[in-house]
Amino acid sequence: MLMQKLFFAEFQRMLDGKSSATAIRILARQTKSRLETGINRKRMEKDGEIKRILKFCHYLEDTLELPPGLSKEEWRFYRRTMEKLVNGKIMPRYVLDVFEEPL
């Protein structure tokens, strides 16, 4: 049985709706875990939408290097989210340096 499809726009709205930096981080971790489990158990296909979500989650947790090929919309979403995390003291200020120059 396939899991319900999650679109990047829905994921983006879910995170944008969170005002707490901690809530953003928890939701991103939970979403990443759920998607990876679904893919590993063959209940979900790793299509373009899922790859976009996982790319963001990987960025947030592991690399903090902006992935190549982001759309302007994605870039703004990454910046907005990082600003919330910096303001919530979850991330250091310097992570915003990569957003100094627009795409």
Angle between helices 72-87 and 21-40 in degrees, nearest 10: 130
Residue 85, pLDDT above cutoff 70: yes
pLDDT value at residue 1: 42
Residue 5, pLDDT above cutoff 90: no
pLDDT value at residue 103: 65
The 10s digit of each residue's pLDDT in 29-69 is 999 999 999 999 988 888 889 999 999 999 998 777 898 99
Neighbours of 99 (CB within 10 A): 16
Residue 3, pLDDT above cutoff 70: no
pLDDT value at residue 71: 92
- Residue spans of the domains in the chain: they are 8-99
Q: Distances from the Cα of 83 to the Cαs of 1, 15, 21, 63, 74, in angstroms?
A: 38, 12, 9, 16, 14
Helix (H) or strand (E) holding 78: helix 72-87
